[in-house]
């Protein structure tokens, strides 16, 4: 990799990834949109669509507002079996570093645990991300989860 | 604890049905012997099953692997452009040789012994058919009367209408048009009116429930305005909308037709906990609905073609949803979202945004899979009990409202006729 990055940026970047996993695993749905820029893109897409150039994503949001609508949906409108999710995220792989803008890829695995059930591997893949510096610190301008686990075990309620 | 139920009591003829088909024995959802009989009678005989869209295989040699019932089949466009469906099972040793989910080939070759088939399934080559010569003597080889024509891939009967491909293992099946019947075919043709389709992509989910529950979910106009907050709150589907429930003459297929109204309005039907009068979207583009000329009025038409597919038009979002049974424990549900060749980039974007309502994560559809799972849990725990589908009485008849479970009763009237044969 030729992308170079200073220690402070690297620390901030890895902290952002760790914070993200904390927020979605702890169910802090009101905090989740705040990790993104206002005009962010958030997508969860099966690998087959990504690789074949099909635009459909399982979740496809184009603004922080859409993320807030999803957060409301989880709390108020979507009837679902409650579950825990747990992200294990690999080290960010820096693809490109410009001033205040980083293109990053990271492998991830999400485990799902339903109440009184065994833990299962729920969704694995990689994220393709664009992280930008803002007045509030680093934020995701783009987060695309490209998942290998194309057969979703029934439903996907919480954001990856 | 329930005592084990003798198999004889679970067979279709002796199962305890009450009040027509308005009380459905739980056993129809979890008996393995019934499941095998259903596969034979609904998926492999006398029915047309969905296999895909022509737009998925636009070029000669393009193929897509899919399933009919629990059998693997290949939808392929031959080099002369003709569409074929063949079973993915080598005539020699039964190998399901096609492993990729899609691709482009000149021929099918089984890797085990390299038997070679044309794309229409005809056997073209068998290595060492005439034996192998060693020291001037021919050793082995297939018998002299081995006839290639007898050993092709199993070829299915194919029907293509409006860009949608159906196939049947049963070459004596009635025509696709007769199978669907004129009353439901009208709605099929409304969606697939001859315009070329464009593929937007796939979603796949494995739902832990019996496959019939998904047919029932889309024959049940009662739940959308109750389970689905978005539908009742934004008026997309609620019990005071103008609606029609239409079946074919066998009651196996159906169309649920609804026209949007009353968004946000408080009425008899909004006194439910899922109605959120003050709900406003932060980003209203999720519901940037633009009426299309081909709708001819209705804003939603959900068509169930028994046994294998659901055709969705919900405002600007259109898809096929294929049902792939797999034992009684679960079924796979494959969504193919599409658009039309003449869509503007804005319309494509709109279809993709509204797709957030549907699929395994959809604001509306995600909870359908959830409730199916929870129904199945009870069926398995209590096989001697039954469900209740008496909204609108025990009649089976078309209605001009949606306060009815008549389509489910109709489906089971048909199910009983076929299973008791």
HEC sequence for chain B: CCCCCCHHHHCCCCCCCECCCCEEEHHHHCCHHHHHHHHHHHHHCCCCEEEEEHHHCCCCCEEEEEEECCEEEEEEECCCCCEEEEECCCCCCCCCCCCCCEEECCCEECCCCCCEECCCCCEEECCCCCCEEECCEEECCCCCCCCHHHCCCCECEEEEECCEEEEECCCCCCCHHHHHCHHHHHHHHHHCCCCCEEEEEEEEEEECCCCHHHHHHCCCCCCHHHHCHHHHHCCCCCCCCEEEEEECCCCCCEEEEEECCCCCCCCHHHCCCCCCCCCCCCCHHHHCCCCCHHHCCCCEEEEEECCCEEEEEECCEEEEEEEEEECCCEEEEEEEEEEECCCCHHHHHHHHHHHHHCCCCCCCCHHHHHHHHHHHHHHHHCCCCEEECCCCCCCCCCECCCCCCHHHHHHHHHHHHHHCC
With beta carbons under 8 A apart, name residues in chain B contacting A66: 282-283, 285-286, 356
Nearest by CB to residue A154, choosing from B208, B276, B352, is B208
Q: Which residue of A has its CA nearest to B369?
A: A154
Could you say which DSSP state residue A18 is in? H
* Of B107, B96, B55, residue with least CA distance to B73: B96
Q: Which of A33, A41, A55, A71 to mutate to test the interface with B (most CBs of B within 10 A)?
A: A55
Nearest by CB to residue A156, choosing from B202, B332, B361, is B361
In angstroms, rounded to a whole number, what is the distance separating the alpha carbons of residues B47 and B308? Answer: 9
In angstroms, rounded to a whole number, what is the distance separating the alpha carbons of residues B146 and B165? Answer: 34
With beta carbons under 8 A apart, name residues in chain B contacting A79: 227, 367, 370-371
In angstroms, rounded to a whole number, what is the distance separating the alpha carbons of residues B278 and A60? Answer: 24
Q: Which of A131-135, B27-31, B243-247 bottoms out in mean pLDDT, i.e. has the lowest?
A: B27-31
Cβ separation of B370 and A154 shorter than 8 Å? yes
Distance of CA B412 to the CA centre of its chain: 17
**Residue pLDDT, tens place only, A62-101:** 999 999 999 999 998 889 999 999 999 999 999 999 999 9
Nearest by CB to residue A60, choosing from B276, B353, B373, is B353
With beta carbons under 8 A apart, name residues in chain A contacting B101: 48
Handedness of CA B356, B358, B363, B366 (dihedral sign): negative
Helices then strands, each counted (H, E), chain A:
3, 8
Nearest by CB to residue A80, choosing from B101, B337, B367, is B367
* Of B215, B220, B164, B169, residue with least CA distance to B187: B164
Q: Residue B6 — pLDDT band, cuts 50, 70, 90?
A: very low
Distance from CA of B284 to the nearest CA of A (A): 8
Distance from CA of A139 to the nearest CA of B (A): 20
Nearest by CB to residue A59, choosing from B204, B282, B356, is B356
Q: In the prediction, which pLDDT does B279 show? A: 81
Backbone angles phi, psi at A5, to 5 degrees: -155, 140
Section B370-375 average pLDDT: 96
Residue A53 three-state SS: coil
pLDDT surpasses 80 at B270:
no
**Residue pLDDT, tens place only, B114-137:** 999 999 999 999 999 999 999 999
In angstroms, rounded to a whole number, what is the distance separating the alpha carbons of residues B290 and B317? Answer: 11
pLDDT surpasses 80 at B139:
yes
**Residue pLDDT, tens place only, B35-50:** 999 999 999 999 999 9
Q: Residue B7 — pLDDT band, cuts 50, 70, 90?
A: very low
With beta carbons under 8 A apart, name residues in chain B contacting A151: 204-206, 332
Instruction: Provide the number of CB pairs (under 8 Å) joining chain A to chain B.
Output: 124
Q: Which residue of B has its CA nearest to A160?
A: B361
Q: What are the Cα distances from residue B382, in Å, to A91, B1, B11, B257, B326? A: 48, 9, 17, 35, 21
Which residue, chain included where needed, has tokens 């003829």? Answer: B13
The interface residues of chain A toward chain B in range 17-46, judged by CB-CB distance below 8 A, are: 44, 46
Beta pairing class for B197-207 and A151-153: parallel
Q: In the prediction, which pLDDT does B380 show? A: 86
């Amino acid at each position: 990799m030729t992308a170079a990055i200073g220690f402070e940026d690297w620390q901030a970047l890895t902290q952002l990834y760790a914070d993200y996993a904390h927020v979605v695993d702890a169910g802090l749905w009101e905090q989740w949109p705040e990790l993104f820029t206002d005009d962010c893109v958030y997508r969860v897409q099966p690998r087959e669509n990504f690789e074949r150039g099909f635009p459909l994503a399982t979740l496809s949001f184009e603004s922080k507002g859409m993320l807030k609508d999803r957060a409301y949906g989880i709390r108020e409108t979507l009837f679902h079996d409650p579950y825990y999710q747990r992200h294990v995220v690999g080290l960010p792989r820096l693809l490109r570093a410009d001033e205040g803008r980083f293109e990053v890829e990271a492998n991830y695995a999400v485990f799902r645990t339903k109440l009184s059930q065994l833990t299962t591997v729920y969704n694995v893949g990689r994220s393709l991300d664009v992280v930008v510096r803002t007045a509030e610190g680093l934020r995701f301008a783009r987060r695309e989860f490209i998942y290998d686990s194309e057969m979703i075990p029934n439903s996907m309620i919480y954001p990856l | 604890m329930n005592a084990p139920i003798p198999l004889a009591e679970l067979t279709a003829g002796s199962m305890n049905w009450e009040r027509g088909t308005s009380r459905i024995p739980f056993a129809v959802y979890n008996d393995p012997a019934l499941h095998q009989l259903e596969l034979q009678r609904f998926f492999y005989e006398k029915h047309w099953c969905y296999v895909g869209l022509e737009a998925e295989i636009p070029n000669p040699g393009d193929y897509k692997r899919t399933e009919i019932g629990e059998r693997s089949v290949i939808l392929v466009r031959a080099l002369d452009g003709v569409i074929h469906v063949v079973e993915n099972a080598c005539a020699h040793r039964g190998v399901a040789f096609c492993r990729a989910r899609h691709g482009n080939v000149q021929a099918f070759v089984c890797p085990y012994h390299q038997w070679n088939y044309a794309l229409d399934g005809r056997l073209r080559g068998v290595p060492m058919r005439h034996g192998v010569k060693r020291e001037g003597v021919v050793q082995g080889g297939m018998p002299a009367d081995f006839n290639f024509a007898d050993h092709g891939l199993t070829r299915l009967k194919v029907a293509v209408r409006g860009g949608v491909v159906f196939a049947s293992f049963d070459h004596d099946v009635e025509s696709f048009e007769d199978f669907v019947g004129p009353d439901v075919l009208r709605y099929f043709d409304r969606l697939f009116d001859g315009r070329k389709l464009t593929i937007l992509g796939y979603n796949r989910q494995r739902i832990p429930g019996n496959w019939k529950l998904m047919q029932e979910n889309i024959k049940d106009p009662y739940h959308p305005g109750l389970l689905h907050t978005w539908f009742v709150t934004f008026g997309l589907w609620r019990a005071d909308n103008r609606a029609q429930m239409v079946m074919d003459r066998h009651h196996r297929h159906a169309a649920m037709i609804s026209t949007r109204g009353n968004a946000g309005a408080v009425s008899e039907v909004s006194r439910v906990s899922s109605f959120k009068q003050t709900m406003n979207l932060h980003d209203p583009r999720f519901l940037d609905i633009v009426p299309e000329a081909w709708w001819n009025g209705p804003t939603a038409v959900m068509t169930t073609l028994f046994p294998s597919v659901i055709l969705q038009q919900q405002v600007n979002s259109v898809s096929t949803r294929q049902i792939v049974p797999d034992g009684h424990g679960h079924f796979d549900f494959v969504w193919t979202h599409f658009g039309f060749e003449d869509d503007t980039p804005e319309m494509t974007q709109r279809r993709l945004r509204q797709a957030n309502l549907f699929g395994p994560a959809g604001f509306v559809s995600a909870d359908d899979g959830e409730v199916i799972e929870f129904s199945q849990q009870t069926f398995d725990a209590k096989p001697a009990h039954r469900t209740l589908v008496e909204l609108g009485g025990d009649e089976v008849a078309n209605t001009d409202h949606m306060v009815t479970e008549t389509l489910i009763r109709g489906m089971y009237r048909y199910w009983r006729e076929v299973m008791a044969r």
